[in-house]
Amino acid sequence: MRSCPNFCSILALFILGLTMFFGLSSGKGFNSFSEELNVRRGYLLDREGEPLIINKENFKAYLLLKGKSLIGTDWPKEIKPYIKNPLDLPEKGLYLLSENLTLDEVKNLKKVENVIIKGELERQPLFEGLRPLIGEVAEGEGISGLEKIFDPYLKRGESILTSLDIKILKRVYYMNKNYEKFSIRGLAVFKLSTGELLAYYSQGGRNWLEKRIALSTRDFQSKVDKVTWELGSLAIKEDRATMEITPLHIIKALMTEACGKPLDPTILPKKGEACIPSEKEMDALYLLKDLEEWFYFTRKGDILYAFYGNFSLNEKEYTPETLKNNLKYLVRNL
């Protein structure tokens, strides 16, 4: 009776070993064409339901070799087209049959013993400049941006309606030939009466709206101390005569001033208006000479435009007024 626990443990391990052996021998457990791939990841949509990203699924097929020599006539007919040179086959291990399968090929090869199917999902934004905002997906998981924030819903195949407007996005990207000329690295369009983000453009890999910048306290005298939107909450960091803020803090301050009450930016569509904004002109330029960068904020009607760019102090023709005039020209044509 005392030896029963040891005997039971040995018996359990023996049964587990047999199960794994016969399972692997039959090819079960190796086919990683999982059910998750049958659930398409949801889309990020503009405010009218138009997709802002493109799903591209890539499937690869491997043949599991277990040391048994294969003669050409012994190969299943489904894999023969993928084996160009039998001499390239290793005695054991995995042999890549194809790295770009169609869905029909996947269904066909799934039936073959010892064939492993691996699927990868590639997400491409409709406009490349949206990537820092939309974010990235790795191995089916959202790891940054909106892909990360809404990952639980997107993984279930649910799509997310955003406040972005594809019509405005097209105009923004149509004008991008002028951005290099004016050294523009980022542009965002907000609706003053709701706080909604309507369009976004970035040349870099990071979301420039959340870029930390140092300003003098006299250059930013708003009572705004924190901005919160779907991508997170950002607090102002103060140190005596200087403070560390982001463009989003400036945007919130301008919207709050126009509305007469606090208004945070948002990436989700709003029903109705949060306020009727005042007609006060907006013309705020921040020059960061140590970084050779600038931020400019202006409005046209109910729309707030936020620009981010760089400049060279060696440019003799550069003046703040020239920069403003160039950007106002773009605003008139957006």
Whole-number pLDDT of residue 314: 57
Whole-number pLDDT of residue 178: 80
Domain with residues 35-161, CATH architecture: Alpha-Beta Complex (3.90)
Assess contact for 202 and 208: CB atoms under 8 A: yes
Which segments of 217-314 are extended strands (E)?
226-229, 232-235, 237-239, 242-245, 283-288, 293-300, 303-310
Whole-number pLDDT of residue 70: 52
166-333, what's its fold? Beta-Lactamase (3.30.450)
The pTM is what? 0.74
Domain boundaries, the chain: 35-161, 166-333
Query: Which uninterrupted H or E stretch holds 258?
Result: helix 247-259
**Whose structure tokens read 């919160």?**
228
Whole-number pLDDT of residue 19: 40
If we measure between CA atoms, which residue out of 278, 316, 321, 283 comes closest to residue 299? Answer: 283
Q: What does the block give as tokens for 180?
A: 């290099």
Whole-number pLDDT of residue 317: 59
Classified as helix, coil or strand, 200 is strand
Residue 325's φ and ψ, nearest 5 degrees, are: -65, -40
Q: Which ranges of the chain have pLDDT less than 50? A: 1-3, 5, 7-38, 71-72
Q: What does the block give as tokens for 74?
A: 């012994």
Whole-number pLDDT of residue 308: 95
The per-residue pLDDT for range 180-219, each reduced to its tens digit, is 888 899 999 999 999 999 999 999 889 999 999 988 888 8
CA separation for the pair 331, 198 (Å, rounded): 14
